[in-house]
Amino acid sequence: MASRRPTDSPRTTGPTQTADKSPTPEKSPAARKPRAKKAAVAPRVDISEDIRRGMIAEAAYLRAERRGFAPGYEAEDWLAAEAEVDALLRADHTSSRQ
């Protein structure tokens, strides 16, 4: 069984201190510059026109379904769904910059 020599000291995890027991300048709170928090920026994902069109088609279908598939509102459903999907894609992209 190995024993520790009397000159070995346990490691410390605190800040480095000088002989007068004050923290070193690089570690003192006053010496640290406040850092601006970086917002987590999600990478921008460009979707293809086919995927966007599929999202619009699905949203238009759900609108028609809620209305009971009453005929004559197809263009209105499509345009409203298109605006909804575009706003969602824009909001998803801009919210990551906050």
| pTM of the predicted model over 0.85 | no
What local confidence, expressed as pLDDT, does residue 62 receive? 98
Q: What angle do CA 72, 77, 81 make, to 5 degrees?
A: 170
Please spell the DSSP secondary structure of the chain, one letter per residue: -----TT------S--B-TTSPBPTTTSTTTSPPPPPPP--PPP-PPPHHHHHHHHHHHHHHHHHHTTS-TT-HHHHHHHHHHHHHHHHHHHHHHTT-
Would you write out the chain's pLDDT as a tens digit for each of its 98 residues?
Answer: 566 656 655 555 555 555 555 555 555 555 565 666 655 555 566 889 999 999 999 999 999 999 999 999 999 999 999 999 999 999 866 655 54
